[in-house]
Amino acid sequence: MSRHIIDHAKPKSDGSRLKRFLELQRREGVHPAILELSKREQPANGARMKQFLKIERAKAS
């Protein structure tokens, strides 16, 4: 009887499918939507970060 699939120390595949997928994605380049998002102006005062931190502090307490 063979071991359960999660009991194996290493996966049987060498990740060749993942390597191929990443190679294809890198060859295609950056998606146009990502380029547009990176061109957006970022707020200089960090107001958004302050809001996120306020929410996190409220959750932590």
Residues whose CB is less than 8 angstroms from the CB of residue 26 and which lie 6 or more positions away in sequence, other chains included:
none
57 pLDDT more than 80: yes
Quote the pTM value. 0.35
Distance from C-alpha of 43 to C-alpha of 32, rounded to nearest angstrom = 22
Q: For residue range 3-53, what is the model confidence (pLDDT) as tens digits?
A: 776 776 766 666 888 889 889 988 989 888 989 988 988 777 788 888 999
- Phi/psi-derived region of residue 15, left when phi > 0, alpha when psi is between -120 and 50, beta in every other case: left
**Tokens 């994605």 belong to which residue?**
25
Res 55: pLDDT: 94
